[in-house]
C-alpha cells in the first residue's frame, strides 16, 4: 500500500546529475534541479575538505561521517534559531494585536467624548467659574 506522501514523491520529476565530491564522481538522481543538486554537492565537498584539513584524516568514510556531523550540527543550530525567531515573531504579533485593541478602545472613547462635548460644555463652564459667595 502506498501512502499519499510516497505517491507524491514518486510523481516528482527526477533529474540525474554528475557531481564530484572529494575527488570522486557520483551520478545522483534527485527531484532537485541540476543547479540545486550541484550546490548541495559543492557544499558537501567543501565540508569534507574542511574536515580533512582540520582533522588531518584522509579516510573518505571517516571524513564523510565527520562532515555529516558538522552539517547536522549546523542544521540543528539553524532549526533552533528559526524556532527562536518564530517565537519572537509570535510575541510581536500578540503585542501588535494588543496595541490594535487598545487603539480601538481609545478611538471609541475619543468618539464618545466628542459626541458628549455639547452636553458637557455648560457643566465645564460651571466648574471653571469662580464660586461667588452670596451674603
Query: Which secondary structure element, helix H or strand E, spans residue 27, and what is its range?
Result: strand 24-30
Q: Quick check: 13 pLDDT over 90?
A: no
Q: So what's the pLDDT on residue 123?
A: 78
Q: So what's the pLDDT on residue 40?
A: 97
CA distance 37 to 14: 11
* Grid cell digits, residue 99: 496595541
Cα angle vertex 78, ends 38, 45, to 5°?
30
Q: So what's the pLDDT on residue 121?
A: 81
Per-chain mean pLDDT for the chain:
89
Cα angle vertex 86, ends 85, 91, to 5°?
95
Higher pLDDT, 57 or 96: 96
Higher pLDDT, 6 or 71: 71
Parse the chain into domains and list their residue ranges. Answer: 11-88
**pTM, 2 dp:** 0.64
Amino acid at each position: 500500500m502506498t501512502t499519499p506522501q510516497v505517491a507524491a514523491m514518486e510523481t516528482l520529476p527526477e533529474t540525474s546529475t554528475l557531481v564530484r565530491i572529494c575527488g570522486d564522481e557520483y551520478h545522483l538522481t534527485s527531484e532537485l534541479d541540476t543547479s540545486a543538486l550541484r550546490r548541495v554537492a559543492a557544499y558537501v565537498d567543501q565540508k569534507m575538505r574542511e574536515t580533512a584539513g582540520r582533522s588531518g584524516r584522509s579516510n573518505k568514510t571517516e571524513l564523510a561521517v565527520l562532515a555529516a556531523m558538522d552539517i547536522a550540527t549546523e542544521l540543528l543550530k539553524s532549526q533552533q534559531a528559526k524556532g527562536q525567531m518564530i517565537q519572537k515573531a509570535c510575541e510581536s504579533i500578540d503585542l501588535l494585536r494588543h496595541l490594535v485593541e487598545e487603539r480601538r478602545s481609545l478611538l471609541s472613547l475619543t468618539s464618545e467624548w466628542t459626541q458628549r462635548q455639547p452636553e458637557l460644555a455648560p457643566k465645564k463652564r460651571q466648574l471653571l467659574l469662580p464660586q461667588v459667595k452670596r451674603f
